Amino acid sequence: MKQNVYDNSTFFKAYTNLRESGITYNDFIEQPAIKSIVPNMKGKSVLDLGCGDGHFSKYCIENGAKKVIGIDISTNMIERAKKINGDKHIEYICVPMEDLKLTNQQFDLVISSLSIHYVEDYSALIRNINRLLKSNGEFIFSTEHPIVTARKGTSHWISTEENNKLHWALDNYHEEGKREHDWFVDGVVIYHRTISTLINTLIENGFVLDKIVEPQPTPVGLEKMPKLIHEKRRPSFIIIKSKKLNE
Amino acid sequence: MKQNVYDNSTFFKAYTNLRESGITYNDFIEQPAIKSIVPNMKGKSVLDLGCGDGHFSKYCIENGAKKVIGIDISTNMIERAKKINGDKHIEYICVPMEDLKLTNQQFDLVISSLSIHYVEDYSALIRNINRLLKSNGEFIFSTEHPIVTARKGTSHWISTEENNKLHWALDNYHEEGKREHDWFVDGVVIYHRTISTLINTLIENGFVLDKIVEPQPTPVGLEKMPKLIHEKRRPSFIIIKSKKLNE
Percentage with pLDDT > 90 across chain A: 83
DSSP alpha helix (H) spans, B113-244: 122-132, 146-149, 195-204, 219-224
What is residue B80's three-state secondary structure? helix
* CA–CA distance, B99 with B87 (Å, rounded to integer): 24
Q: How far apart are CA A226 and CA B185, in angstroms?
A: 40
Lowest mean pLDDT among A122-136, A177-191, B81-95, B129-143: A177-191
**Which residues, listed in sequence order, are joined to residue B3 by a DSSP beta bridge?**
none
Q: Using CB atoms, which residue from B169, B196, B212 is nearest to A200?
A: B212
What average pLDDT is seen over chain B? 94
Residue B189 near residue B118 (C-beta atoms within 8 A): yes
pLDDT of B233 reads 97
Residue B116: the pLDDT is 97
> DSSP assignment of B96-133, as one string?
-GGG---TT--EEEEEEES-GGG-S-HHHHHHHHHHHE
Contacts of A169 in chain B (CB under 8 A): 158, 166-170
Contact status, residue A82 vs residue A76, Cβ threshold 8 Å: no
pLDDT at position B1, please?
64
Collapsed DSSP state (helix, strand, coil) of residue A85: helix
Which pLDDT does position B186 carry in this prediction?
Answer: 81
pLDDT band at A155 (very low <50, low <70, confident <90, very high): low
pLDDT at B247: 67
Yes or no, beta carbons of B203 and A211 under 8 Å apart: yes
Select from A151, A208, A213 the Cβ nearest to the Cβ of B167: A151
Does any CB of chain A come closer than 8 Å to the CB of residue B170? Answer: yes
pLDDT value of residue B65 = 98
CA distance A129 to chain B (A): 20
Topology of the domain comprising B5-145+189-244: Rossmann fold (3.40.50)
Candidates A175, A211, A234; nearest CB to B170? A234
**Where is average pLDDT lowest: A217-231, B1-15, B98-112?**
B1-15
Whether B234 sits inside 8 A of A173 (CB atoms) is yes
CB A175 within 8 A of CB A100: no
Question: Would you kindly state where each structural domain of chain A is located, as residue ranges?
Answer: 5-146+178-244
Interface residue of A37, A143, A174 to substitute, partner B, most B CBs within 10 Å: A174
Please give the Cα distance from B145 to B29 (Å, whole number). 12
A195: which chain B residues are within 8 Å (Cβ-Cβ)? 195, 212, 214, 235, 238
Closest-CA distance, A151 to chain B, in angstroms, reads 9
Predicted confidence band of residue A209 (pLDDT cuts 50, 70, 90): very high
Size of interface A-B (CB pairs under 8 A): 101
The answer, for B174 touching chain A at a CB cutoff of 8 Å, is yes
pLDDT at residue A196, rounded to an integer: 98
Q: What is the DSSP letter of B4?
A: -
DSSP codes joined into one string, B22-71: T-SHIIIIIHHHHHHHPPP-TT-EEEEET-TTSHHHHHHHHTT-SEEEEE
If you average pLDDT over residues B39-66, what whole number do you get?
97
By DSSP bridging, strand B133-144 and strand B157-159 are unpaired
Region of poorest pLDDT, from A5-19, A137-151, B204-218? A5-19
Are the C-beta atoms of residues A174 and B216 closer than 8 Å to each other? Answer: yes
What SS3 class is residue B194? Answer: coil
User: Strands B237-244, B207-213: parallel, antiparallel or unpaired by DSSP?
Assistant: antiparallel
pLDDT band at B53 (very low <50, low <70, confident <90, very high): very high
pLDDT mean over A7-19: 86
Q: Which of A33, A24, A102, A26 is nearest to A67 (CA)?
A: A102
Looking at the domain that runs over A5-146+178-244, which CATH code has it been given? Answer: 3.40.50.150
Could you give the ipTM of this predicted complex?
Answer: 0.94
pLDDT of residue B246: 79
CB B233 to CB A173 under 8 A?
A: yes
Model confidence pLDDT, tens digit, residues B177-202: 999 988 777 888 999 999 999 999 99
Is residue A13's pLDDT more than 70? Answer: yes
If you average pLDDT over every residue of chain A, what do you get?
94
Selected residues 200-229 of chain A with any CB under 8 Å from a CB in chain B: 200, 203, 208-214, 216
Q: Which residue of B has its CA nearest to A166?
A: B171
CA A242 from chain centre, in angstroms, equals 15
For the residues A137-150, what does the mean pLDDT come to? 97
Residues 6+ apart with CB under 8 A from A118: A3, A50, A189, A190, A191
> In terms of CA atoms, which chain A residue is nearest residue B165?
A171
Confidence of residue B153 (pLDDT cuts 50, 70, 90): confident
Determine contact: A175 vs chain B, CB below 8 A. yes
